Structure 1
Amino acid sequence: MAKYLISFPSAAMIVPDGELEAVGRDARAVIEDAKAAGVYVFAGGIDEAVPPLLVCADGSFAEGGYPWAPSLDGGFTVLELRSREDAIAWAARIAKACRCQQELRVFGFDPQS
């Protein structure tokens, strides 16, 4: 089994007026289905009201992320699944619930984790 990241940036989620409540309900329903299926690992969204910190190896830090990288925002779901086909199916369900396309990535296997 592999862990898959299903995500979208904030700008991708354009919800028509009056549908935000339905989107939340539909997204929570998919997450509940993932929990019931035993494939749920984690889900959530980046709190964009809290700025990122760039932390150095010596413990010093500065507000802001990598200046050369695009900002990291949006919603994320991590599921542990048997196949890429299963991951695509779950990503499609999340895309339908959120009313936006989802990016699918697989985490590299780490036998120590």
Structure 2
Amino acid sequence: MTKYLISFPAEAMVATGEQLVAAGIDSRAVIEEAKAAGIYVFAGGINEPVAPVLVAEDGSVSGEIYPGSRLTGGFAVLELPSREEAVTWAAKLAQACRCAQELREFMYDPAS
């Protein structure tokens, strides 16, 4: 099976107040459904108040990250048998989160 990244940037979610609370409840329900279906790998949200850093080969740390690599929002990694099923799960998360989701496929890696 293939792993898929389903995600959205923070600025895509425009829900506020009660809508935001409902989106949290609904998205957690979809994640629980994915766990029950045996397709859940990992999910979470980026802790945006903690600044990202760039770590070099020698272990030195810089506050400057790659241009255009700003990552925000939330994501889920699911392992599914087809892209069509990945689209179905992305739609479930889009409905729960009240915003469209980006869908990306991980390249196959026999060691993972």
RMSD after superposition: 0.9
Shift of the alpha carbon at 1:20?
Answer: 1.4
Paired with 1:10 and 1:34, the residues of 2 have a C-alpha distance of 22
Cα deviation, 1:3-35, whole Å, max 9, x if unaligned, reads 000000000000044211111110000000000
Q: How does 1:1-113 map to 2 (within 5 A)?
A: 1-66=1-66, 68-113=67-112
Give the letter aligned to residue 13 of structure 1: M
Cα deviation, 1:64-109, whole Å, max 9, x if unaligned, reads 321x214111101000000000000000000000000000000000
Paired with 2:52 and 2:16, the residues of 1 have a C-alpha distance of 29
Paired with 2:30 and 2:111, the residues of 1 have a C-alpha distance of 30
Shift of the alpha carbon at 1:51?
Answer: 0.2
Q: Which runs of 5+ in 1 are unaligned?
A: none
Give the letter aligned to residue 55 of structure 2: V
What's the TM-score once normalised by structure 1's chain length?
0.95
SS state at 2:78 partner = strand
Q: Share of identical aligned residues, percent?
A: 61
What's the TM-score once normalised by structure 2's chain length?
0.96
Give the letter aligned to residue 68 of structure 2: A
Paired with 1:27 and 1:74, the residues of 2 have a C-alpha distance of 13
Give the letter aligned to residue 78 of structure 2: L
SS state at 2:36 partner = helix
Count of aligned positions: 112
Q: Which runs of 5+ in 2 are unaligned?
A: none
